[in-house]
Structure 1
């Protein structure tokens, strides 16, 4: 007889989408034992008739707020979910020029979904950070067919609560995905003489008006001044606002 804690751990891993073989390896038991726990006579406290109860409805109940808010920003920018019959894959694409971003994305995935496997797929010039769990659509209900800018992106009430609690984490995730901090160089005529000017600014580009609205609403609440350089490009260039962003965001690395 195995301890009840081992049974509970195995069933939790199964609910996260791991196969029986993966659960068996993680718990140090046989595949047959895992199947017995799922369908046999021994019941864990959170099962009925041998079948684990679904947890999709409360998958966000104990989520780590700061890491989730950051991961939400990454997902809204350069993330997507691929769905299969019993498993969903969350993917965030990261430029290879920012290795720190790759590790931060993986770390956020592990914190938000501790039992889900995280892997890397190398592509030309970028790395896809991937995490596998049947519950990713529960945590990102904005998932759906088609591109994000071609469908409504509306945050659920519980997501808005998390963003209000951790607004800088969301902004950081958005900037790390579809944004940057750079130095703008320009010239201006002053008293008949052309002078060169340089100043730092933050940029964020996204085709979704809903994602832009989520960002601008959050920036307004944080007291950050912004403007649209063009329809799909947001700029933060005011000295005070850039300094505020530097304290909480900083350049990608």
Structure 2
């Protein structure tokens, strides 16, 4: 990790305050544009210029939480999301990493964040081959109590009672978020003998892969309640993959989830 001295950071802030664009500052100072964006955000937050900087209303405890958007965002977080707060940050951030090849997914993620955190700004940080959809909020801990030290598959992931009720009310949004993060819709193929001739045929199926037993169980329990049939597919002897291949179940998934785009 590159460490930039105080003089470089101060020069960048001076340029930014004078109206220079993030990309231009990054190029002139040979600093990653994501770092420039982060410095600019911290500088604006200290001066009280960030949208929603003076808002302290929790969307769940004191506000009007958009439950549909939250169920989808919860699925995204359990898959490809992470929460960060270090000593240099007053406010924690929630980030979901999305591949550049899925612009529709990036827009859906950003939209969900804006609906869940209406008083906070949401940004897209460009990374190599992907985008990091990010929001800063002091109430992230309240909305995502599953956060903790270490990787998700190395610690328990259990929904609180209010989250369980919300997922039960919006199960398809939760499943869609999980598929959009750690799943996919793909075409599988097989061969069979037809009148003495071997023919190939294709059929769609959904896959979901996650190392966390708890997260996979949350997914399969929700599928059970929705009447979607599923099976385990082992990988290196471990049941990391969940497959939905039965025609009726795939049709249900197509109706409510669909392929990423």
Taking structure 2 as the reference length, the TM-score comes to: 0.76
In 1, Cα distance between equivalents of 2:205 and 2:48: 47
Deviation at 1:111, TM superposition (A): 0.4
Q: How many angstroms apart in 2 are the aligned matches of 1:173 and 1:139?
A: 16
Stretches of structure 1 that go unaligned for 5 or more consecutive residues are 1-16, 35-51
Task: Extract unaligned runs of 5+ from structure 2.
Answer: 1-41
- Residues of 1 paired with 2:230 and 2:255: CA distance? 17
CA distance 1:114–1:201, change in 2 (3 Å)? same
Q: Which residue of 2 aligns with 1:206?
A: 210
Give how far 1:187 is off: 1.7
Alpha-carbon distance change, 139 to 99 in structure 1, aligned in 2, over 3 angstroms: same
RMSD value over aligned CA atoms?
2.4
Structure 2 counterpart of 1:21? 47
1:240 partnered with 2:248: yes
Name the residue aligned to 2:68.
66
Structure 2 counterpart of 1:90: 94
2-side partners of 1:106 and 1:187: how far apart?
42
Give the whole-Å Cα distance in 1 for the aligned partners of 2:176 and 2:229. Answer: 16
- Structure 1 residues 184-193 or 239-248, which shifts more? 184-193
Structure 2 counterpart of 1:158, from 162, 184, 189 = 162
CA offset digits 1:19-44 (Å, max 9, x no partner):
36335x759xxx9xx8xxxxxxxxxx
1:122 to 121, 126, 130: 126
Query: 2:182 maps to what in 1?
Result: 178
Q: Cα distance 1:208–1:61, how it changes in 2: closer, same or farther (>3 A)?
A: farther
CA contact (8 A) 2:94 2:134 kept: yes
Aligned-pair CA distance for 1:59: 3.5
User: Under a length normalisation based on structure 1, what TM-score does the superposition of the two structures give?
Assistant: 0.78
Identify if the C-alpha distance between structure 1 residues 252 and 117 changes in structure 2 by more than 3 Å, giving closer, same or farther: same
In the alignment of these two chains, the number of paired residues is 213
| Cα distance change of structure 1 residues 19 and 183 upon mapping to structure 2, 3 Å threshold | same
Q: Over residues 3-32 of structure 1, what are the superposed CA-to-partner deviations in whole Å (9 max), with x where a residue is unaligned? A: xxxxxxxxxxxxxx9936335x759xxx9x
